[in-house]
Structure 1
Amino acid sequence: MARADGSGDADCSSIMKKLGLQPITRCSLAKFYVPAFGTASYTAMSMNVMNPSLVVKVFPKRDITNVLLVGTLVGTGSYIYTREHVKSAPQSIRILYSVTGAVLLSLGSVLMWAVIRSVVPPSPTICTIAGIGTGVALLKIGSSYLEFVDKQIAKK
């Protein structure tokens, strides 16, 4: 609860900074929080594809595959949409690029995990590690690529 002298807000702000969080604004939602949610959804989706029995244990009554896919698509699309290199494009084109990038990452990853799952030993632990490992690698490569492209635009 905020104090009358306003120091409660400062305490909250310093806690958020220590946790690596940003103040909640419209911009931080689009650039930070929604992509972070997408990253969590993508990671969970990797586990769901690679080790479905684990996800069924956590959510026994509901198939959450589509929820994870939508979370991944929204998070990835938001991340691409807010990048510097697409800011000068018309809004409809930005949306098109964002949706295309999100779909390619998500569905390409599902296909990759299906292939990996068919070649790794049928151990739930190995499948889970392979899914999370490849997912994290693809996220890192993709974000590094987009940062590289953004830096090229900034140089002009």
Structure 2
Amino acid sequence: MAGPGNSNGSLLAKLGLQPVTKCSLVKFYVPAFGVASYTALSVNVMNPSLIMRIFPKKDITNVLLGSALVGTGTYIYTREHLKKAPTATRVVYSAAGAVLLSFGSVLVWAVLRSIVPPNSTLCTIAGIGSGIAFINVGMNYLDFVDSQIAKK
């Protein structure tokens, strides 16, 4: 707990953030950056003109996809149910999960984009909403799997 003279700890706690350590970087900040990238990727696929207005000279799709893959992979890698697996197996499972989520989402967004009326606001909301839904379902699933592990 933060002491009365330590305003940084209380500010971090108020913002829902963790103190920056090696562990929190891997378990919290890299996955959080991945979620932000994944959300931006949903907007990029569903409403590319919006992203083009923000980054007119650069296509950032691959950067967003790569960041989402790293964030998701890191999140899966650090989960409790994989702790006893060999490192190579953890990497393969984490990479597979990250690829399935990200590329599957891009496919869903491409289909959604063809179904949703051509309204940029509606497309953006559909992309962000479906992305948040996928993230929540994935996190709930992994929490459920982790809950099946016998507690020490």
* TM tier, smaller: over 0.9
What does residue 31 of structure 1 align with? 27
Q: Distance in 1 between matches of 2:151 and 2:125?
A: 39
Q: What is the TM-score when the length of structure 1 is the normalising length? A: 0.93
Structure 1 residue 22 and structure 2 residue 9: aligned? no
TM-score calculated relative to the size of structure 2? 0.95
Distance in 2 separating the partners of 1:9 and 1:55: 43
Per the alignment, residue 135 of structure 1 pairs with 131
Map 1:1-156 → 2, pairs under 5 A:
10-154=6-150
Q: 4+ residue runs of structure 1 moved beyond 3 angstroms?
A: none
Identity %: 66
Aligned to 1:3: none
Unaligned segments of structure 2, at least 5 residues: none
Q: What is the rounded CA distance, in whole Å, between the counterparts of 2:7 and 2:47 in structure 1? A: 41
Alignment length (residue pairs) = 150
Q: Deviations over 1:64-116 (max 9, x none)?
A: 00000000000000000000000100000000000000000000000000001
Q: Distance in 1 between matches of 2:108 and 2:130?
A: 9
Partners of 1:132 and 1:9 lie apart in 2 by 40
Provide the C-alpha distance between the structure 1 equivalents of 2:22 and 2:93, rounded to a whole number of angstroms. Answer: 21
C-alpha distance in 2 between matches for 1:86 and 1:57: 41
Q: Secondary structure at the match of 1:154?
A: coil
**Cα root mean square deviation, aligned:** 1.4
Distance 1:23 1:125 in 2: 36
Q: Report which stretch shifted further, 10-19 or 66-75.
A: 10-19
Q: Determine the C-alpha separation between the residues in 1 that align with 2:55 and 2:102.
A: 21
- 1:123, 1:9 → 2: CA distance? 51
Cα-to-partner distance string for 1:5-63 (whole Å, 9 max, x where unaligned):
xx797111111111111011111011100000000000000000000000000000100
